[in-house]
């Protein structure tokens, strides 16, 4: 998973946040359509025992004003934002601040 401010993908994409599964083929969310950026952190240490791929959960959710489904993803899956992927609550807070800055 890749998440970027639009201009970081293409200088002309100033009004969007870009996301991609492979870092090449991008989809976009218009910044004006974003209503909230929320997230939750759960430090359990046993999630891998239940089949989850990480010990802790750091989930980010981008809610939209329109009828489109929110974008929800595990921060530890993001490959291009190194400060988001540590699996700690602080990483979740950094991601939320970064995205707020993009808006």
Pick out the chain residues at pLDDT < 50: none
Considering the chain, what is the average pLDDT of its residues?
92
In sequence order, which ranges of 1-88 are alpha helices (DSSP H)? 6-9
Token representation of residue 89: 């609550």
CA distance 57 to 60: 10
* 8 Å CB contact between 72 and 60: yes
- The percent of residues in the chain predicted with pLDDT above 70, rounded, is 94
Domain that holds residue 84: 2-102
Strand partners, 16: 30
pLDDT of residue 50: 67
Domain count, the chain: 1
pLDDT of residue 31: 97
pLDDT of residue 47: 61
């Amino acid at each position: 998973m890749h998440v970027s401010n639009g201009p970081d993908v293409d200088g002309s994409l100033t009004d969007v946040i870009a996301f991609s599964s492979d870092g090449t083929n991008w989809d976009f969310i218009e910044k004006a359509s974003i209503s909230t950026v929320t997230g939750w952190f759960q430090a359990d240490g046993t999630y891998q025992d239940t089949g989850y791929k990480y010990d802790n959960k750091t989930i980010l959710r981008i809610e939209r004003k329109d009828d489109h489904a929110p974008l929800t993803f595990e921060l530890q899956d993001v490959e291009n934002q190194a400060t988001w992927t540590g699996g700690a609550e602080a990483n979740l807070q950094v991601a939320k601040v970064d995205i707020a800055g993009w808006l």
